[in-house]
């Protein structure tokens, strides 16, 4: 199981991966991650995926990456919107992944 991120007092999400700016204070991450990464599953719907992204961005997560291993695509999501990219990045941070080499 991935990290547990508190979205609201009553809601926890579990992204596949999260990059933190500091050390987690407990088993549940309460400070917004710098980056969350979701690797899509065949049963993920577009509406559920969009809702997850909005929840992460809504708590202050800087960037969300959505990776679709079947379509071999990636989307970078931040306050500017969604963009399909071959290279996923986090603005002003030395964090990136080249998708083509990741799918090999």
Q: What pLDDT does residue 1 have? A: 66
Q: How far lies 104's CA from each of 86, 96, 100, in Å?
A: 13, 17, 7
Q: Phi and psi dihedrals of 79, rounded to 5?
A: -60, -20
Token pair, residue 3, equals 């990290």
Give the residue from 22, 68, 26 showing the smallest Cα distance to 12.
26
Q: Under DSSP, is residue 88 helix (H, G, I), strand (E, B) or coil?
A: strand
Q: What is the C-alpha to C-alpha distance for residues 12 and 31, in angstroms, rounded to an integer?
A: 13
Q: Which residues contact 37 (CB under 8 A, 6 or more apart)?
A: 15, 16, 17, 18, 19, 64, 65, 67
Q: Which residues contact 24 (CB under 8 A, 6 or more apart)?
A: 3
Q: Which domains does the chain have, with CATH numbers?
A: 4-102 (3.90.1570.10)
For each of the chain's 104 residues, which pLDDT tens digit applies?
678 999 999 999 999 999 998 876 688 999 999 999 999 999 999 999 999 999 999 999 999 999 999 999 999 999 999 999 999 999 999 999 999 888 87
């Amino acid at each position: 199981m991935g990290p547990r991120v508190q979205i609201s007092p009553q809601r926890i999400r579990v992204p596949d991966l999260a990059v933190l700016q500091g050390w987690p204070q407990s088993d549940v991450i309460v400070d917004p991650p710098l980056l969350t990464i979701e690797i899509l599953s065949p049963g993920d719907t577009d509406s559920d995926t969009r809702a997850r992204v909005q929840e992460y961005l809504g708590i202050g997560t800087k960037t969300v990456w959505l990776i679709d291993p079947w379509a071999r695509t990636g989307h970078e999501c931040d306050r500017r919107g969604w963009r399909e990219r071959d290279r996923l990045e986090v603005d002003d941070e030395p964090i990136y992944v080249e998708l083509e080499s990741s799918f090999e």
